[in-house]
Structure 1
Amino acid sequence: MSGWRLSGFGDEIDPEPCVQLAVLAAVGARLIDVRSAWDVNIVELDADRLAELAGLVRDAGMAVSAVSSPVGKVDIDTPVEDEVERLERAVAAAHALGAPFVRVFSFQYGHRDPESVRDEVLRRLAALVEVARRGDVVLLLENESGLYGDQPERVLDVVESVGSERLRVAWDGGNFVRVGRRPFDEAFPLLVAHIAYLHVKDALADGASVPAGAGDAQLPETIAALTTSGFDGVAALEPHLAVAGRLGASPGRRDSAWRPARSRL
Structure 2
Amino acid sequence: MSADASSGTDDRLSGIRYAGIGDEAAPDLAGQLEALRRLGWRTIELRTVDGTAIADLDDRAFARLSAGLDAAGIDVVCVDSRIANWARPITGRFEDDLDELRILARRCAALGTRYVRVMSYPNAGLSEAEWGRRAIRRMTTLVHEAERHGLVLLHENCSGWAGTRADRMLDLLQRIDSPALRLLFDIGNGVPYGYDAHALLDAVIGHVAHVHVKDARARAGGQVDYTLPGEGESGVRECLTALLQHGYTGAWSIEPHTHLRPHDDHNTTDEEGVAAFVRYGRSLERLVQREVTADNGGARA
* Same fold flag (TM > 0.5): yes
**C-alpha contact (below 8 Å) 2:156/2:186 kept by paired residues:** yes
Greater Rg over alpha carbons, structure: 2
Which of 227, 245, 264 is the aligned partner of 2:262?
A: 245
Residue in 1 that maps onto 2:83:
71
Match of 1:21 in 2: 33
Q: 1:44 to 1:81 in 2, by over 3 A?
A: same
**C-alpha contact (below 8 Å) 1:15/1:38 kept by paired residues:** yes
* Matching residue within 130, 136, 139 for 1:116: 130
> Which whole-Å deviations, capped at 9, do the CAs of 1:216-258 have from their partners, x for residues lacking one?
2111011111111111111111010135233xx8xxxxxxxx7
Alignment of 1:135-150 (within 5 A): 135-145=149-159, 147-150=161-164
Q: What residue number does 2:246 align with? A: 229
Range moving further from structure 2, 138-147 or 187-196: 138-147
CA contact (8 A) 1:244 1:259 kept: yes
Residue in 2 that maps onto 1:38: 50
**Residue 108 (structure 2) aligned to one of 94, 99, 106:** 94
1:193 to partner: Cα distance = 0.6
Picking from 172, 188, 199, the partner of 2:201 is: 188
- Conserved? CA contact 1:176–1:183, under 8 Å: yes
Aligned positions, number: 254
Distance 2:211 2:266 in 1: 23
Which secondary structure state, in structure 1, belongs to the residue aligned with residue 83 of structure 2?
Answer: coil
The structure carrying a bigger helix percent of its residues is: 2
1:11-50 CA-partner distances (Å, limit 9, x unpaired)? 1111110220121121132111110012211110122222
Check conservation: 2:131, 2:161, Cα contact below 8 A: no
Letter in 2 for 1:194: H
Q: 1:154 aligns with which of 158, 162, 168?
A: 168
Residues 204 and 259 (structure 1), Cα distance of their counterparts in 2 relative to 1, 3 Å cut = closer
Equivalent residue letter for 1:170: L
- Taking the aligned partners of 1:143 and 1:214, their CA distance within structure 2 comes to 21
- Gap regions ≥5 residues in structure 1: 250-257
Amino acid at match of 2:99: E
CA distance in 1 between partners of 2:34 and 2:157 (Å): 29
Once residues 138 and 243 of structure 1 are traced to their aligned partners in structure 2, the CA distance between those partners, rounded to angstroms, is 26
Q: Secondary structure at the match of 2:26?
A: coil
CA gap 1:174/1:259 in 2 versus in 1, 3 angstroms: closer
Identity across matched positions, percent: 31
How far 1:108 sits from its partner (Å)?
0.9
> What SS class does the counterpart of residue 244 from structure 1 fall into?
coil
Distance 1:41 1:96, change over 3 A: same
Superposed displacement of residue 160, structure 1: 2.2
Given the two structures, how large is their TM-score scaled by the length of structure 1? Answer: 0.89
CA contact (8 A) 2:120 2:159 kept: no
Separation of aligned partners in 1, 2:112 and 2:130: 38
Unaligned runs of 5+ in 2: 1-12, 278-301
Number of the residue aligned with 2:74: 62
RMSD between aligned residues? 2.0
Secondary structure of the 2:36 match is helix
